[in-house]
A and B are shown apart, each in its own frame.
Chain A
């Protein structure tokens, strides 16, 4: 993996982490205010879920650098 590709992967991971943690936090705020009487645990739960999803995405991205995405093509009957 070249250095520029590695840098791009890290940038993608950080952006993904920011978005997912923010989304989890936001959903936690919504559910805390609507259903859970302004408790703190939905915020922590949502942020933690976002962080875990971002970590999983990053891990998959770094551990499968040569993954090719293919598709099935039906054989044409002669």
Chain B
């Protein structure tokens, strides 16, 4: 979907002497109208359309690698474009770069703060970004000289007024998108540390973000403690779509591979699917037996499967189309805090408060 970067056309009529009660009533009427409009086009449910699709057979995925080395809770991880390396960050301030295939550690940095809640691998594979309670996002170029202190070349890029919850490079090493406990997201120029655009609209901490894989490459989605998932135009800073159906904090958002939808994971123990063209929630992935929050979600390459890491130490695998759970994966000994599919879809990695990361395939 191509969003115009021109200003929205406002055609409302607001009389100068309108009272607060009138405006509130007007707002409520509009919200109802909006739901009606959305509902008019909702002529069928996803699982109904999916009836004609074959069900999934027995599903076997196992832990293929266990990465041990963090001294405390693993909070975040990201894959390198080479499909085998990863970067992970933990509560004790350590950021580690691994070759997950051999399980060798290749680089390690100790951050000056604890709770490094966000980390990201640069597209070139030559740097990593990370941050957390220091309210910053810093970029470390990866040096192959084992004697070199990585921290010496550290570059401070982003500056928020509260903790950094997530970060992601955009299509190049030159720009970073961040989200923060200060309620905003921001786009930064890495070289100069300049703020390029800020995104205001969440009413509370922003916990997660994901960049859209669209042709025009101009949007991203964020989720927050205000239970909202917002879609943003990176160029104008405007919020162009907003979804509020979760009943608690949204911990994770991830685009469906085509870019036409995104999934969310929340403390309300559900994952949901939102379609951007229909402008509504189209599926809820939940079970009565799942009562702990979902911390992180990602799709398989074809978008048929949704992997959810939960606070009850498990990973649930969902059939995106039919809405059913196809498998539950045990292994971690504490909360699953982070989960991402590898760039070529051959595996996914989960990180946990049990200090380890696991590769599943």
Q: Do A and B bind each other?
A: no
Using a CB–CB distance below 8 Å, which chain B residues touch chain A?
Answer: none
Using a CB–CB distance below 8 Å, which chain A residues touch chain B?
Answer: none
